[in-house]
Amino acid sequence: MPELPEVETIKNNLQEILPLRIKELELRREDILRCQDYALKELAGQSIEEASRRGKYLILAVNNGLFLVFHLGMSGRLYIQEEENTILEPHVHVIIHLDKRLKLLYQDARRFGGLWLLKDIDSFFSRLGKEPLSEEFCPPYLEQVLQGRQTAIKNLLLNQNLISGLGNIYADEALFMAGIRPDRQAASLSVREIEGLCCGIKEVLTKSIKYRGTTFRDYRDGKRQPGEFQNHLQVYGRFNQACPNCGQPLKRTRIGGRSSHYCEKCQH
């Protein structure tokens, strides 16, 4: 599932080639449109000026104040292709025909993602938690978030209304870096552990962006290339393999319905 580093990578790919003028937005499946504040024809002839990211959402800002917001769900891909290339891939639900002989494709086999056509993005994002790579995301903020919470720390890290952009992969990696078991009660973390976790979250996300995200199967960047951070993961997807710290076989357990990977010896 694309998380913060994957969406950030796609955003960077798109930002490099902007601005691009929209000729037409071709919607192949109506149900991929999650919200529509304006008519599709209002986009024709307008220019996409800026790509940005909020949590796991990718935002394209159009010059007349309209926004295209994508969420990639479990298996979504968003990538640029040359206009003359025939689309051979299945599950391409949205095609944005652009100038410079390009088109932007939204492909999503499992359809957990979608497209929002919005005028007011501030209210759309108002409930989303802080950005983990922002300065506002700091140990005192994390401490405030964890205070009095009886639930497992892993569950809290995945709550997008508290911290936006983290998913299963980077939550497991950050907890390993901080030496904290994923099933630890959130409120039981010491100030020192919270500092380590805050640091681990920022570090793993920054490093993954540098390697253009993690590809196990579905994820591709904005140029349709796989990421490379899967080669640098320490615990996620490495069940029964040696812990990079102590050499013991890594464990896997289910927390809140999600598989969690950790080292019994290095994480407490």
Which residues are near Zn ion by CB under 5 A?
A: 243, 245-246, 263, 265-266
**CA atoms of 46 and 56, how far apart (whole Å):** 25
Is 173 annotated as catalytic? no
Is 41 annotated as catalytic? no
| Minimum gap (Å) between residue 112 Cβ and Zn ion | 33
| Minimum gap (Å) between residue 234 Cβ and Zn ion | 9
Catalytic residue among 11, 53, 56, 212: 56
Nearer to Zn ion, 63 or 245 (CB): 245
Catalytic residue among 3, 6, 173, 193: 3
Catalytic residue among 2, 5, 132, 182: 2
**CA atoms of 74 and 168, how far apart (whole Å):** 12
Catalytic residue among 21, 23, 207, 258: 258
Is 24 annotated as catalytic? no
Nearer to Zn ion, 224 or 252 (CB): 252
Q: What are phi and psi of 174, to 5 degrees?
A: -65, -40
Q: Taking the CB of residue 187, how many other CB atoms lie within 10 A of it? A: 13
Is 149 annotated as catalytic? no
| Minimum gap (Å) between residue 263 Cβ and Zn ion | 3
Residue nearest to Zn ion (CB): 243
Nearer to Zn ion, 87 or 246 (CB): 246
Nearer to Zn ion, 100 or 265 (CB): 265
**CA atoms of 188 and 175, how far apart (whole Å):** 14
**CA atoms of 259 and 239, how far apart (whole Å):** 10
| Minimum gap (Å) between residue 248 Cβ and Zn ion | 5
| Minimum gap (Å) between residue 2 Cβ and Zn ion | 28
Nearer to Zn ion, 117 or 235 (CB): 235
| Minimum gap (Å) between residue 190 Cβ and Zn ion | 20
Nearer to Zn ion, 137 or 236 (CB): 236
Q: Give catalytic residues, as residue numbers.
A: 2-3, 56, 258
